[in-house]
């Protein structure tokens, strides 16, 4: 067990002890917090990382002391600031990771996302996502929860239709052409992008191959409000909260957005690639 996972286990144990001391069942606590009962179980059993918000409302519900609450917050922040080991993280389950992400998205009003080599998770079709999760499972020896992970990823996408939220996605043309699934799945995925790109609260930009890039697109990144940036590498998921780091990635996103083709121009690129996929035989 890694030190990160041990810290998550320790925090989950403390949360359980506080719940039991308050004479609450997991279901009763979930009702107070307006959560799914499964979330209480995931946090207590270290299958999901508790956020600062999670521990604050938990502490309030069980009437924990101010000192206890402060200590829980400290531990939660420390966990989120750690460089999460992807191999260990995926062993906890593909679905649990999707639940972690969904909780973060629920607290976000402004999304800015840059992806150079894959379709953004919030925009994936179920079949494209299934092929991605199969590759993740093989690479990281992840727990076999592909069906559950796909289901949660599809549930996450309901947030796209919340008009109080704004989504700005920028991808490279390479991301649309990278064949992470068979041609028929890629065709369905590109059709999905065409539909989502017309939503009034969604800005979808494509950087064509013939555009000069402002910097090398080494990694994709997600900016959540002005609060944090998530940068995924092959072995680590970096969670950055320092204002200087956030400002740097905001500038980087704006630079990429300036050279991206938006609206009809962006959809023209998708249509051109979709036409090429239609020429390919289905597997």
- Domains of the chain plus CATH, in order, are 3-82 (1.10.260.40), 85-278 (3.30.870.10)
Give every strand in the sheet of 236-240, ordered side by side: 84-85, 236-240, 228-232, 221-224, 110-115, 166-172, 202-207, 261-262
Q: What is the pLDDT along the chain (283 residues), one digit of tens a residue?
A: 567 778 889 999 999 999 999 999 999 999 999 888 888 998 999 888 888 889 999 999 999 999 999 999 999 888 876 645 555 555 556 666 777 777 778 889 999 999 999 999 999 999 999 999 888 877 766 566 788 889 988 999 999 999 999 999 999 999 999 999 999 999 999 999 999 999 999 999 999 999 999 999 989 999 999 988 999 888 777 888 889 999 999 999 999 999 999 999 999 999 999 999 998 888 7
Q: Measuring CA to CA, which residue among 251, 271, 269 is closest to residue 261? A: 269
In the prediction, which pLDDT does 170 show?
98
User: Whole-angstrom Cα distance, residue 186 to residue 183?
Assistant: 5
158 phi and psi angles, rounded to 5 deg: -60, -25
Compute the C-alpha angle 248/253/258, nearest 5°: 130
The CA distances from residue 190 to 71, 72, 137, 173, 274, in Å, are: 47, 44, 24, 12, 6
271 phi and psi angles, rounded to 5 deg: -65, -40
User: Whole-angstrom Cα distance, residue 147 to residue 94?
Assistant: 9
Q: Which two tokens stand for residue 46?
A: 């270290």
CB atoms within 10 A of CB 91: 17
Q: Which two tokens stand for residue 106?
A: 């629920």
Contact 206, 172 (CB under 8 A): yes
CB atoms within 10 A of CB 226: 12
In the prediction, which pLDDT does 83 show?
47
User: Whole-angstrom Cα distance, residue 47 to residue 89?
Assistant: 9
In the prediction, which pLDDT does 86 show?
52
Contact 131, 180 (CB under 8 A): yes
3-state secondary structure of 246: helix
What residues contact residue 13 under an 8 Å CB cut-off, 6+ apart? 44
The helix/strand count (H/E) of the chain reads as: 13, 8
What residues contact residue 225 under an 8 Å CB cut-off, 6+ apart? 107, 108, 109, 110
Largest Cα–Cα distance in the chain?
65
Contact 4, 81 (CB under 8 A): no
């Amino acid at each position: 067990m890694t030190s990160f996972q041990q810290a998550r286990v320790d925090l989950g144990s403390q949360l359980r002890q506080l719940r039991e001391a308050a004479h609450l069942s997991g279901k009763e606590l979930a009702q107070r917090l307006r959560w799914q009962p499964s979330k209480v179980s995931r946090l207590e059993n270290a299958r999901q990382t508790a956020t600062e918000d999670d521990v604050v409302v938990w502490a309030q519900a069980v009437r924990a002391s101010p000192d206890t609450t402060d200590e829980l917050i400290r531990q939660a922040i420390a966990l989120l600031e750690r460089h999460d080991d992807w191999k260990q993280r995926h062993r906890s389950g593909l679905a649990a990771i999707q639940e972690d992400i969904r909780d973060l998205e629920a607290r976000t009003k402004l999304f800015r996302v840059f992806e150079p080599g894959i379709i953004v998770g919030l925009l994936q079709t179920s079949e494209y996502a299934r092929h991605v999760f199969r590759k993740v499972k093989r690479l990281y020896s992840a727990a076999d929860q592909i069906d559950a992970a796909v289901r949660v990823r599809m549930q996450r996408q309901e947030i796209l239709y919340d008009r109080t939220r704004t989504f700005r996605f920028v991808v490279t043309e390479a991301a649309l052409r990278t064949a992470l699934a068979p041609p028929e799945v890629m065709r369905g995925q590109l059709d999905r992008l065409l539909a989502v790109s017309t939503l009034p609260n969604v800005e979808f930009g494509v950087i064509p191959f013939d555009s000069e890039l402002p910097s090398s697109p080494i990694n994709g990144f997600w900016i959540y409000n002005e609060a944090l940036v998530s940068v995924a590498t092959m072995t680590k998921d970096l969670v950055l909260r320092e204002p200087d780091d956030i400002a740097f990635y905001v500038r980087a996103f704006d630079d990429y957005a300036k050279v991206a083709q938006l609206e009809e121009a962006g959809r023209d690129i998708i249509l051109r690639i979709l036409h090429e996929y239609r020429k390919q035989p289905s597997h």
